[in-house]
Amino acid sequence: MPSRIPQKPIKVTPLTDCTGGNQPVNLLTIRCAAEYLAVSVPTVRRWIAANYFPVYRVGRQIRIERQELASFLEKGRHPGPC
């Protein structure tokens, strides 16, 4: 019978999302991005469809980089009413 090679344990680092935690997360879900921008989830989805900021897709999941959202707000590219 072949001997098993012992595997090193995987180190798992807890990540923060919009519900709290102890380390910042750079990629946000749409819901977390909506909370960060103080807008609704459908608004963030409309802005994604209009290409206001880049997103990352992992399968069917969409993630938005926190730096991109900060840049989006700093540049005054907020497409809301005047």
pLDDT band per the 50, 70, 90 thresholds, residue 1: low
53 in a structural domain: yes
Q: Work out how many domains the chain is built from and give that number.
A: 1
42 in a structural domain: yes
Position 26 scores a pLDDT of 86
Comparing CA positions, the residue from 59, 67, 30 lying closest to residue 47 is 30
Instruction: Please tell me the pTM assigned to this model.
Output: 0.65
Position 14 scores a pLDDT of 46
pLDDT tens-digit series, residues 3-36? 565 566 655 444 455 655 555 568 999 999 999 8
Q: Which domain holds residue 57?
A: 27-74
18 in a structural domain: no
The radius of gyration of the chain from alpha carbons, rounded to an integer in Å, stands at 18
31 in a structural domain: yes
